[in-house]
């Protein structure tokens, strides 16, 4: 099962919004939110909450791809999130997530007995490529012990 399939199967909000996990690697995660009138706002575009969920889901996908080998000893948890809505989003939108720190650096802190924190940067774009939102989710790997 791919990371996208796993998230779609285990995260009810991802299923509810019918998120499409287009790419999930340790370097980049790309997740799409189809245009769905049930999730529109008052101006006919995707609701801010749906866009937040899209971005947070993309960040979770890259965290699982980059740190999946650490799951036996640490639990990934979102610590904080910030989003800025830049332009009107209309139609389908796509979130692209990238790690804000090298994965090896994060794992080295975990190896040293620390609880590392790291940002994931997300750009949300319309079909024409315009950035409609920018988001940062700070994650931690909480050691199991």
Q: What is the pLDDT of residues 19-38, one digit of tens each?
A: 999 999 999 999 999 999 99
Q: What is the pLDDT of residues 1-23, one digit of tens each?
A: 899 888 888 899 999 999 999 99
What's the predicted TM-score (pTM) here?
0.95
Beta partners for residue 99, in sequence order:
120
pLDDT of residue 10: 87
- Phi, then psi, of 77 in degrees rounded to 5: -135, 135
CA 59 vs CA 38, 51, 84: distances in Å: 24, 12, 15
What whole-number distance in Å separates Cα of residue 15 and Cα of residue 30?
A: 16
CA 114 vs CA 81, 108, 141, 145: distances in Å: 21, 9, 9, 11
86 within 8 A of 133, measured Cβ to Cβ = yes
Asked if pLDDT for residue 145 goes beyond 80, the answer is: no
- Sorted by sequence, the CB contacts under 8 Å of residue 25 that are 6+ apart come out as 62, 65
């Amino acid at each position: 099962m791919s990371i996208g399939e796993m998230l779609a199967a285990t995260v009810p909000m991802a299923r509810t919004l019918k998120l499409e996990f287009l790419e999930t690697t340790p370097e980049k995660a790309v997740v799409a939110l189809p245009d769905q009138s049930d999730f529109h706002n008052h101006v006919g575009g995707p609701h801010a909450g749906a866009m937040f969920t899209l971005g947070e889901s993309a960040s979770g996908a890259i965290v699982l791809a980059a740190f999946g080998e650490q799951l036996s000893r640490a639990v990934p948890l979102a610590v904080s999130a910030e989003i800025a809505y830049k332009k009107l989003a209309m139609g389908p939108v796509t979130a692209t997530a990238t790690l804000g720190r090298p994965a090896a650096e994060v794992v080295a802190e975990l190896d040293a007995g620390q609880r590392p924190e790291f940002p994931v940067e997300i750009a949300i774009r319309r079909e024409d490529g315009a950035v409609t939102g920018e988001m940062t989710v700070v994650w931690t790997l909480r050691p199991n012990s």
